Structure 1
Amino acid sequence: MTRSLREVVKEYMSERRVRKYRLVTKDGRCNIEFGNVMHRNRFAYVLDIWTTFVETRWRFVILHFVASFTLSWFIFGLLWYWIARDHGDLKWQNPPANHTACVYSVNSLTYAFLFSLETQTTIGYGNVYVTDVCPGAVALIIIQSLMGAIINCFWVGVIMTKIALPKKRAKTITFSDSAVICPKKGTLCLQIRVANLRKTLMIGSQIYGKLLRTTITPEGETIILDQVSIDFMVDAGKDNLFFVCPLTLYHVIDKTSPFFDMAVDTLHQQEFELVVFLDGTAESTSSTCQVRTSYIPQEIMWGYDFLPIISRSKEGKYRVDFSNFAKVVPVPTAHCAYCYHNEAGHHHHSINGIDNQGFEVIDIETPNITKM
Structure 2
Amino acid sequence: MQQNIDKKHKRVIQMSGREVVTYGMPTRFWQDIYYYAMTISWPWFFASFAFLFAIMNFAFAGLYMLGDEAIANVYPQGFWGAFFFSVETLATVGYGDMHPATVYGHWVSIIEIFMGMSGLALVTGLIFARFSRPRSSIVFAEHPVSHVVDGKRLLMIRMANARMNVISEASAKLRLIWNEVSATNGKFRKIHDLTLQREQHPIFVLGWTIFHVIDESSPLYDVSIEELKQKQAALILSVDGVDETTNQNQRGRHYYPIELVRWNHRYLDVFEDQDGPQQVIHYSRFHLSEEVAAVLQDVVEPKQSN
- Decide: shared fold, TM above 0.5: yes
Whole-Å separation in 1 of the counterparts to 2:111 and 2:229: 66
Whole-Å separation in 1 of the counterparts to 2:82 and 2:125: 30
Whole-Å separation in 2 of the counterparts to 1:31 and 1:186: 39
Aligned length: 291
CA contact (8 A) 1:278 1:290 kept: yes
Structure 2 vs 1, CA of residues 260 and 46 (structure 1 numbering), >3 Å: closer, same or farther?
Answer: same
Structure 2 vs 1, CA of residues 62 and 34 (structure 1 numbering), >3 Å: closer, same or farther?
Answer: farther
Q: Which residue of 1 aligns with 2:130?
A: 162
Structure 2 vs 1, CA of residues 326 and 127 (structure 1 numbering), >3 Å: closer, same or farther?
Answer: same
CA contact (8 A) 2:151 2:296 kept: no
Whole-Å separation in 2 of the counterparts to 1:265 and 1:223: 19
Structure 1 residue 117, shift from structure 2 partner: 0.9
1:121 equivalenced with 2:79 (yes/no): no
Structure 1 residue 263, shift from structure 2 partner: 5.3
CA contact (8 A) 2:237 2:253 kept: yes
Structure 2 vs 1, CA of residues 243 and 251 (structure 1 numbering), >3 Å: closer, same or farther?
Answer: same
Whole-Å separation in 1 of the counterparts to 2:224 and 2:57: 68
Which amino acid is the alignment partner of residue 122 of structure 2?
F
Which amino acid is the alignment partner of residue 138 of structure 1?
H
CA contact (8 A) 1:46 1:52 kept: no
Structure 2 vs 1, CA of residues 346 and 122 (structure 1 numbering), >3 Å: closer, same or farther?
Answer: closer
2:192 to 228, 239, 260: 228
Q: Deviations over 1:153-200 (max 9, x none)?
A: 21222233223332xx22x32111111112346632101111111122
CA contact (8 A) 2:167 2:250 kept: no
Whole-Å separation in 2 of the counterparts to 1:331 and 1:267: 22
Q: Deviations over 1:197-246 (max 9, x none)?
A: 112222332111221111233x475432111112334xxx3124421111
Please list, as runs of the form range in 1=range in 2, the aligned pairs for 1:327-342 lying within 5 A after superposition: 327-334=288-295, 336=297, 339-340=299-300
Between 265-274 and 319-328, the greater mean CA deviation after superposition: 265-274
Q: Which residue of 2 aligns with 1:71?
A: 55
Whole-Å separation in 1 of the counterparts to 2:52 and 2:226: 60
Structure 2 vs 1, CA of residues 163 and 185 (structure 1 numbering), >3 Å: closer, same or farther?
Answer: farther
Consecutive unaligned residues of structure 1, counting only runs of 5 or more, are 1-21, 90-100, 348-372
Question: Going by fraction, where is strand more abundant, 1 or 2?
Answer: 2
Q: Which residue of 2 aligns with 1:25?
A: 16
Which amino acid is the alignment partner of residue 339 of structure 1?
V
2:22 to 34, 51, 59: 34
CA contact (8 A) 2:161 2:206 kept: yes
Q: Which residue of 2 aligns with 1:308?
A: 269
Question: Percent of aligned positions with the same letter in both sequences?
Answer: 22
Q: Which residue of 2 aligns with 1:198?
A: 163
SS at match of 2:200: coil
Which one has a bigger Cα radius of gyration? 1
Structural RMSD (CA): 3.1
Whole-Å separation in 2 of the counterparts to 1:317 and 1:82: 77
Q: Which residue of 2 aligns with 1:256?
A: 217
TM-score (norm 2): 0.81
TM-score (norm 1): 0.68
2:237 to 264, 276, 287: 276
Q: Which residue of 2 aligns with 1:149?
A: 117
Consecutive unaligned residues of structure 2, counting only runs of 5 or more, are 1-12
Structure 2 vs 1, CA of residues 334 and 72 (structure 1 numbering), >3 Å: closer, same or farther?
Answer: same
Q: Deviations over 1:100-149 (max 9, x none)?
A: x7523364222111111111223444432234xx2332233222112111
SS at match of 2:255: strand
Q: Which residue of 2 aligns with 1:179?
A: 144
Structure 2 vs 1, CA of residues 266 and 32 (structure 1 numbering), >3 Å: closer, same or farther?
Answer: closer
CA contact (8 A) 1:270 1:297 kept: no
Whole-Å separation in 2 of the counterparts to 1:261 and 1:311: 37
SS at match of 2:22: coil
Whole-Å separation in 2 of the counterparts to 1:64 and 1:200: 36
Whole-Å separation in 2 of the counterparts to 1:272 and 1:265: 10
